[in-house]
Structure 1
Amino acid sequence: MKLEKTSEESINVKNEWLILAIIIVALIPVTIDATILHVAIPTLTLSLGASGNEVLWIIDIYPLIMAGLLLPMGILGDKIGHKKVLLFGLTIFGIASFLAGFSSAPIYLILSRALLALGGSMIMPVTLAIISQTFANEAKRGTALGIWAAVGTAGAAVGPVLGGIIVEHYWWGAVFLINLPLILIVIPLIWIGVPKGISSPDKPWVLIDAALVLVGVILFVYGVKTIFKEDHPLWISIVIGIVGFIFLRLFFKKQKISSSPMIDMELLQDRRILLGMLLCFVPMAVIVGFEFLLAQELQFVHKRSPIDAGLFMLPFVASSAVAGPLTGSILSKIGFKNLIITVLSLSSLSFFMLSQLDFSSFTASLLFWSIVLGFSLGVVLIAGTTAIMSAAPLDKAGMAGSMESISYELGTGLGITFFGIILSQIFIKKFVVSDELLKELPKQVNNSIGDAMIVANELGGEKGEIIKKAAMTAFKDAHDVVLVLAGTVLAILAIILVFILPKEKNN
């Protein structure tokens, strides 16, 4: 296989920290975009008249497409050069941000978010690859990768607060437009300051495999999302879900016989890596699902402003970010099994306690259990990453890292899906108005609190107020049940791991 190494690569040694700074600036819009939209959801729901299902797709489409494209875009970077792919990715991300900011209907925002995911999937893997190629010294490389990870976590933590500030003073579309100045600044910096590095032009690029996994994931999730909708034929949801499953099955079959697989099947046969992927997937699903629920309750039910909602969520997301640097030292002292069982139990207990609290005001109890929940889930995430990377051979560390990122993105997308479905089903059952009024209302009025608020605003007057009160009561009841279910899932996972994780020797 032919390797091309440019003369520019000697610049790496002289300007490696400058190159890292440029890469970090390129990464910031992608990391913030993962969570900045959560606080803006109630506002854009009313502005665009988005249904509950459309809201789920607006949020989900980004991580789901990212999950399907991370591996092929990483391989494309190896083939044509990481700098080139990074520039393409930033350009696409900038165009998509502009289109998303001025979307006039839910479908346009969903398509713009899909385009954002395409750009993001090109940016994320190649920034890691550029760092790996830039820092020849192993210790410096470790520090650089740690900074990269810290910025990613901090960006996700800052997202809800930043989103609240922007929506409060401007409009929901501005949460996307803030990407543009950073992108316009960083593209020339990359063009001038980042070397071309190493590329492998003969490396195969498996576009068909990428299409299989991408289409499979989206069809499967669509089937799951619509299976409970009253106005959607059940058989269509089942057929689409089965077709998506078949696509995913074909993808994994092709990986087993492919001479250049996107996923090394030997890695997937390692129980430690599978466990690590599970420990990345479950907490991420719970984190984003909880943020999705919280953002709606704080604004729709408790009438908090977007910025207040963002600040309300800050202890949760910030404690999750702080968990990273502390996990290593805790892990070395009490061992992997003890750590995982402890923090999963704490996160489960936190959900049970939060389900008993009133979110109308920020009390000491809410602060305490929000911090405990965020910190414990953050520790699980980092421990999952540690399990994956420590189990993977050194020559497969890059692929293992991509599998870790996929677990995060799938957790983000499917967490919103399952929280949204459960929330919607309970909301439908708890939404109570008189039969006479219900006959006058559109069918979708009880699908979600967003749908109910749209109908209430259009109707206005006494009937509108009745709908709003019924929706608020239903959502608070649904919120309690969802938090108990989330706590139960984490408790069951902790109990299972007690029996399947091997005993560790005392130091």
Structure 2
Amino acid sequence: MEKTDKISIATGRNQWFILAIIICTIIPVAIDATILHVAIPTLTLSLGASGNEVLWIIDVYPLIMAGLLLPMGVLGDKIGHKKLLLFGITIFGLASFLAGVSSTPTFLILSRGFLALGGAMIMPVTLAIISQTFTDDVKRGTALGIWAAIGTAGAAVGPVIGGIIVENYWWGAVFLINIPLILIVIPLIWIGIPKGISNPNKLWVLKDAALVLIGVILFVYSIKTVFKEGHPLWISIVIGIVGFIFLRLFFKKQKISSSPMIDMELLQDRRILLGMLLCFVPMSVIVGFEFLLAQELQFVHKLSPINAGLFMLPFVASSAIAGPITGAIMQRIGFRNVIITVLSLSSLSFFMLSRLNFSSLTGSLLFWLITLGFSLGMVLVAATTAIMSAAPLDKAGMAGSMESISYELGTGLGITFFGIILSQIFIKKFVISEELLIELPKQVNNSIGDAMIVANEIGGEKAEIIKKAAMTAFQDAHNIVLILAGSVLAILTLILVFILPKEKK
């Protein structure tokens, strides 16, 4: 039976005050998604992290979040979104401290996993609180647009803040800046957020939650390692099969359960499935592109961390600007026309960017970066609105989880795929003499980060040869990866042209 408190459904000015608190809550989570990108080169050299460790430092956060989001969204529907939000923001603050004082790659990876636990509690319940607070469709659309815009804006300023911090302090401070805001937000949540709609009778089984978490991590780990040089292919395949079995067991149990953790009707709603796809694919290319760009600007073009962050700002800022206006545009021309138009623009942007030099921010480069960010930002907001508008209020936490899972899987797999493709092309394009290659550590040609670490260790003329070869290889890989990203978006656009029904005026 559902329970609410006296102010579970807020009205008037209370609604916007609640939204303001929610926005303050998601800012550190949003910033944390990108703030580390600019710090990667400095972190790599400071901790002596290998290319694979760097990928895990970045990936462990979205991948564990993806595994925990669904169980946490359902748990919020059961115990109350306010209570889970307080737990989540507290854990996020503690994990930020642990990540900031990490002294080894392994400790940082574990700390980032702990951050993911807090983030998984925060993201779905913030969407659920918005859906339950704003019962009017127009206001809810505006609120969701602001939520998405602020989330993207947090990601936009992340690289700039990260650049300023790394240049003036040390890389660990990129995590510690979360703590002051979290200390302010906790009492605001306590006094300003109502308990909302909850259902204590909703079933939440720890064993089922573990099936999802283990299944997602194993399945994605197999994808990460299947192309890794020196890693046995059969191990990757076996791990992937085991992960798939765990996920299959979870969904099989849900179908026969009298009180399932996940409502299968939501998964059968075409609007929700389409929204999840349109969250996953664009998010994959956004974070993959940022991962590539941050390394090229600093390793190849020798930009400082803060200048690299400023260079990336037009791309991520334009995606944030797209949020609040997406709803109004959809009202005028329809969901189908918006999605097809902006996906086409984003695909074209990648093709044009693959032809440009990133050594300086020229007018044409600025134009296509802004176009790419704006078009992808509109796709993400339209997808979020489609998912949350299709879900009943008492299942808002579950729907928020499904939306967030798409985001986080896109984030984790985007970096994984971009990292794998970059690595494979980099290995083939990295050319130095056989005599020198025999003298160097085996990992020298795994990634540009590994090459720079080796070069810094040996020094002298040989170091300059390694750095020059690495820069050339990375730029060649950059062009190919951007063409592949544009091709993926073009294929998705073409599919949607045929499967999306035309909308009536």
Q: What's the TM-score bracket when you normalise by the shorter of the two chains?
A: over 0.9
Corresponding residue SS for 2:123: helix
Q: Deviations over 1:331-380 (max 9, x none)?
A: 33433333322222211111111111110011001001111111111122
Task: Note the 1:346-357 alignment, pairs <5 A.
Answer: 346-357=345-356
Corresponding residue SS for 1:50: coil
Q: Deviations over 1:288-323 (max 9, x none)?
A: 000000000000000001111111111111111112
Residues in 2 aligned to 1:477 and 1:327: alpha-carbon distance in whole angstroms: 36
Q: Which residue is 1:279 aligned to?
A: 278
Task: Note the 1:408-447 alignment, pairs <5 A.
Answer: 408-447=407-446
Residues in 2 aligned to 1:340 and 1:144: alpha-carbon distance in whole angstroms: 20
Residues in 2 aligned to 1:384 and 1:4: alpha-carbon distance in whole angstroms: 30
**Superposed displacement of residue 226, structure 1:** 1.3
Task: Note the 1:217-236 alignment, pairs <5 A.
Answer: 217-236=216-235
**Superposed displacement of residue 270, structure 1:** 3.0
Residues in 1 aligned to 2:414 and 2:13: alpha-carbon distance in whole angstroms: 43
Q: Which residue is 1:378 aligned to?
A: 377
Q: Which residue is 1:403 aligned to?
A: 402
Residues in 2 aligned to 1:451 and 1:477: alpha-carbon distance in whole angstroms: 17
Q: Which residue is 1:37 aligned to?
A: 36
Residues in 2 aligned to 1:462 and 1:134: alpha-carbon distance in whole angstroms: 64
CA contact (8 A) 2:102 2:108 kept: yes
**Superposed displacement of residue 458, structure 1:** 0.7
Corresponding residue SS for 2:357: coil
Q: Deviations over 1:119-146 (max 9, x none)?
A: 1111222333444555677766655444
Task: Tell me the percent identity.
Answer: 84
CA contact (8 A) 1:33 1:159 kept: yes
Residues in 1 aligned to 2:387 and 2:475: alpha-carbon distance in whole angstroms: 38
Q: Which residue is 2:87 aligned to?
A: 88
Root-mean-square deviation (Å): 2.4
Q: Deviations over 1:173-212 (max 9, x none)?
A: 1110001111122223333444545544333213222211
Corresponding residue SS for 1:341: helix
- Give yes or no for the alignment of 1:461 onto 2:474: no
The AA in structure 2 aligned to 1:329 is A
**Superposed displacement of residue 65, structure 1:** 1.4
Residues in 1 aligned to 2:29 and 2:306: alpha-carbon distance in whole angstroms: 21
The AA in structure 1 aligned to 2:484 is L
CA contact (8 A) 2:131 2:393 kept: no
**Superposed displacement of residue 7, structure 1:** 6.2
Q: Which residue is 1:334 aligned to?
A: 333
After superposition, the Cα gap between the structure-2 partners of 1:298 and 1:131, relative to the gap in structure 1 and judged at 3 Å, is same
Residues in 2 aligned to 1:329 and 1:20: alpha-carbon distance in whole angstroms: 19
Residues in 1 aligned to 2:334 and 2:83: alpha-carbon distance in whole angstroms: 43
Residues in 2 aligned to 1:358 and 1:490: alpha-carbon distance in whole angstroms: 22
Task: Note the 1:67-466 alignment, pairs <5 A.
Answer: 67-132=66-131, 143-197=142-196, 199-392=198-391, 396-466=395-465
The AA in structure 2 aligned to 1:380 is V
Residues in 2 aligned to 1:59 and 1:87: alpha-carbon distance in whole angstroms: 25
After superposition, the Cα gap between the structure-2 partners of 1:274 and 1:384, relative to the gap in structure 1 and judged at 3 Å, is same
**Superposed displacement of residue 437, structure 1:** 0.9
CA contact (8 A) 2:278 2:383 kept: yes
Residues in 2 aligned to 1:360 and 1:423: alpha-carbon distance in whole angstroms: 19
Gaps of 5+ in 2: none
Q: Deviations over 1:256-314 (max 9, x none)?
A: 22223333222222333322211111101000000000000000000001111111111
Residues in 2 aligned to 1:190 and 1:393: alpha-carbon distance in whole angstroms: 24
After superposition, the Cα gap between the structure-2 partners of 1:319 and 1:263, relative to the gap in structure 1 and judged at 3 Å, is same
After superposition, the Cα gap between the structure-2 partners of 1:418 and 1:11, relative to the gap in structure 1 and judged at 3 Å, is closer
Residues in 1 aligned to 2:351 and 2:250: alpha-carbon distance in whole angstroms: 39
After superposition, the Cα gap between the structure-2 partners of 1:66 and 1:487, relative to the gap in structure 1 and judged at 3 Å, is same
Q: Deviations over 1:88-110 (max 9, x none)?
A: 21221111111101111111111
Which of 32-41 and 336-345 deviates more? Answer: 336-345
CA contact (8 A) 2:282 2:379 kept: yes
CA contact (8 A) 1:13 1:135 kept: no
Residues in 2 aligned to 1:330 and 1:17: alpha-carbon distance in whole angstroms: 22
After superposition, the Cα gap between the structure-2 partners of 1:332 and 1:452, relative to the gap in structure 1 and judged at 3 Å, is same
**Superposed displacement of residue 392, structure 1:** 4.2
Residues in 1 aligned to 2:134 and 2:341: alpha-carbon distance in whole angstroms: 37
Provide TM-score, normalisation by structure 2.
0.93
Provide TM-score, normalisation by structure 1.
0.93
Which of 191-200 and 218-227 deviates more? Answer: 191-200
CA contact (8 A) 1:86 1:126 kept: yes
Which of 66-75 and 453-462 deviates more? Answer: 66-75
The AA in structure 2 aligned to 1:503 is K
Corresponding residue SS for 1:263: coil
CA contact (8 A) 1:12 1:195 kept: no
Residues in 1 aligned to 2:23 and 2:271: alpha-carbon distance in whole angstroms: 30
After superposition, the Cα gap between the structure-2 partners of 1:149 and 1:378, relative to the gap in structure 1 and judged at 3 Å, is closer
Corresponding residue SS for 2:299: helix
Residues in 2 aligned to 1:346 and 1:369: alpha-carbon distance in whole angstroms: 9
After superposition, the Cα gap between the structure-2 partners of 1:7 and 1:345, relative to the gap in structure 1 and judged at 3 Å, is closer
Q: Deviations over 1:448-474 (max 9, x none)?
A: 111111111111111111111111000
Q: Deviations over 1:12-71 (max 9, x none)?
A: 888554444333322221111111111111110111111111111111111111122122
Corresponding residue SS for 2:34: coil
Greater relative CO, 1 or 2 (CA 8 Å, sep 6+): 2
Residues in 1 aligned to 2:325 and 2:147: alpha-carbon distance in whole angstroms: 17
Which of 265-274 and 237-246 deviates more? Answer: 265-274
Q: Which residue is 2:61 aligned to?
A: 62
Residues in 2 aligned to 1:291 and 1:478: alpha-carbon distance in whole angstroms: 15
After superposition, the Cα gap between the structure-2 partners of 1:324 and 1:16, relative to the gap in structure 1 and judged at 3 Å, is closer
